[in-house]
Amino acid sequence: MAEGGRPGDDRVGVRVATYNIHKGVGRDRRRDPGRIAAVIRNLGAGVLALQEVDTRQGHLPWVHEMDYLAETSGYTAVVGPTHTRYDYHFGNVVLSAHPVSAVRHVDLSIYRREPRGALELELQVHGTPLRVVATHLGLYPGERLRQVRWLLEHLGGVPAEPTVLLGDLNEWLPWARSLRLLHRVFGRSPGPPSFPAAFPVLALDRIWAHPREGLEDVRAWNTPHARGASDHLPVTAHFEFSRAGVSADDRYRSPAPAPRDRAVPR
């Protein structure tokens, strides 16, 4: 489904995608950002969340991966680095074909674990506001559960505006508590297998949206090029929402409260 939204329409649509690019390293263990750029162009997404991106800035594709991918694909890049040592810059990036009106960084790091975070953006999609939240969660179940709770607390429960939440959740188990919390707030969303790219069996890469009924065609982008470019497949979806925003029924619907964690060193 293509993106749409003419001035007379009361609804707008956007194609969204999430893609863990594995620092541009493919199945052959070669780092080739050009392959990633080709996959991104073929996705045709208006909004794309990337994980495991080298976030240094510049014009050398094998070093300055973020700028190279944005420039060759024609997107605006918003960066959310999680690792920022002098020799290692690494994190989340959102590529947008739509104007970006606000950006917020959400720290989801847990003491003695790999730093994690989320990017929250407000976009203007054909003149209509859309909130996009892109993240990459931790490797351990308890870590992911805490991060999901923090993220939902930051969002304030059920969103009051059209919202897309997407990224690499690293959640292997479909019955995991972290996924149940997200389903409770956003509604149940399909989880197509996306990892490993060569023979996908795990639904690590996910997309949710609110209102849920606007989310359609959630699928893994399983093409020969995508299978070779990274260890994850991209996951894509189409989200259609009203120019009037979220209806009153959806806006004031409240999920069951999630149990709160004790304070965790961050």
User: Looking at residue 68, what is its pLDDT?
Assistant: 82
Q: Considering the domain boundaries, does residue 265 fall inside one?
A: no
Q: Which residues of the chain have pLDDT under 50?
A: 1, 58-63, 251-266
Q: How far apart are CA 149 and CA 179, in angstroms?
A: 11
Q: Considering the domain boundaries, does residue 159 fall inside one?
A: yes
| Number of domains comprising the chain | 1
Q: How far apart are CA 26 and CA 230, in angstroms?
A: 4
Contacts 24+ apart (CB under 8 A), 255-259: 255/157, 255/158, 255/184, 255/185, 256/184, 258/149, 258/152, 258/181, 258/184
Q: Considering the domain boundaries, does residue 4 fall inside one?
A: no
User: Looking at residue 250, what is its pLDDT?
Assistant: 54
CATH code where residue 60 lies: 3.60.10.10
How open is the CA angle 82-85-86, to the nearest 5 degrees? 140
User: Looking at residue 73, what is its pLDDT?
Assistant: 84
- CB-based contacts of 112: which residues, under 8 Å, 6+ apart? none
Count the Cβ atoms, other than its own, within 10 Å of residue 59: 9
Positive or negative, the Cα torsion across 262, 207, 169, 180? positive
Report pTM. Answer: 0.88
Q: Considering the domain boundaries, does residue 6 fall inside one?
A: no
Q: How far apart are CA 186 and CA 200, in angstroms?
A: 25
Under a CB-based contact definition with an 8 Å cutoff, are residues 174 and 182 in contact? no
Q: Considering the domain boundaries, does residue 24 fall inside one?
A: yes
Q: Considering the domain boundaries, does residue 257 fall inside one?
A: no
Q: Considering the domain boundaries, does residue 169 fall inside one?
A: yes
Q: What is the pLDDT of residues 89-113, one digit of tens each?
A: 678 999 999 999 999 999 999 988 8
Q: Residue 158 belongs to what domain range?
A: 14-251
Q: How far apart are CA 224 and CA 85, in angstroms?
A: 35
